Structure 1
């Protein structure tokens, strides 16, 4: 009998700290109007010094597990660009914090595409019977890799985590995960990168002070993000013999509002069918898709049965897309947390 990974529960965690556009304007040449008109962001979530990525991920994981129907999970995957340390992985720390020591665990770093990459891996493992249930976490503390005065990155990225429990089920069930289309182009690695600290560019005493932090070519990233997400969305729809007319909701990586609007326009989707969830928290990278889903679910936006097109573009460059139908009857209360002001 065919098996599929099915969405069983979802939850998120946002730190209480916020940095507003006006606060950013106190330390760099920018303004609230400049940021809002270009990104759609008014504030970004900021974790405290005592809130590493593992803590954000564990709190989101706990929220998701509280609503799960499965008794436990046998694998924890953490999609992140900002691990607690270069070594070891952050996933074992998250698993232990959740009382899941002994479960398999590993990190995935595909930048902002990380959650979709993790979804594809988790789905494959469940479909093969190698896992019965998986906790998939997207967790980011991007403030740890942002150069404080970089006008191209500091206004964009926020901190936070969201998690999804996937269980074995039937391919025809609501919430069943089908094929996740993934792609990459390593020739575009310089679009967004942290130069120093790896084996190719070790830390040096005379390095540029910006080298340990994220650099991003905003204009080029915009162009490639729109093209690749549009392209892979069309492939995902064709794979399911669907057209844009069959899509109820586009849930794209929450990069900035201009990219979200342009992808919807290129696909021929009405703007109101594109979920926007970055105004008060910023771009939470690998956490942004499950964060948008969890917050929409908690706020009653998702009733169940919505046909969704999920897509992302991230550093690498990497990209992906998949189609699914949102399950009905998921617990709503466990999607909320004290750091979420919506």
Structure 2
């Protein structure tokens, strides 16, 4: 399939609406310069120049969906705090619908603060509560999800698990069952600490390290040839067997991606398209958003993965959590023609 044909799928993204359910957070950045070491401890002193904040986690996936031209809404929880209100404001500015966000009193909104000097991360500071939600919160989220699915306005449901308390095995099974009942495409970006082994997913997108953990196999590094990488193929087969997922897309950093389809078939290797890599944070969010929209637009799984690979190649060249615009992605695809 030509790159021009791939770009046509991107032009169709605006027809779709995607719901993103998962761990919502703020990615906050403190930018400065470090020219000396502290007298109090052997650490750099960062003279702050400016700060900014963007949606992170599941919120960043929704931000990417909108940036790619589609419509997005989020389901998840925030605290009854300044950060929760700021996150909803940031999402609103990105044109993401936050009407289904649940406020849980007494719970902190998840915030990741990264301190950078000369575009290099010095330290990350996390504010979070990761215990499971109250039972009432799970019931409310499932009720809101079902009402949105019943409306017929949702074309796909993306589940984003960062192990910040939203997902339990019973909750994720219920969410997937609802999506399947209403015949809505449902996908998962899993967390390695949650080996739920649920079924009913159309797509799952772990990275290499996560995939080995989820498969219960000791980690082994790549050999720069995913199709001949026996440990990787063993991991892919194990995940397909355990999770019974239709499409398994393993993101492999500098090695690109490996797409596992039907059991027994050879994986498809999609080489990386990154020209420069400054920051990989949020790249998985971009891959998921782009892959789902390409599938909705009718792209075969291998073509959808190729489009997502180009999108990831753009965002890793930007310092900080970033979203890619549809016009930039189309241009990047057409440049390869």
Q: TM-score, normalised by structure 2?
A: 0.33
Which one has a larger percent strand, Structure 1 or Structure 2? 2
Greater relative contact order, per chain length (Cα 8 Å cut-off, separation 6+) = 1
Q: TM-score, normalised by structure 1?
A: 0.33
Which one has a larger percent helix, Structure 1 or Structure 2? 2
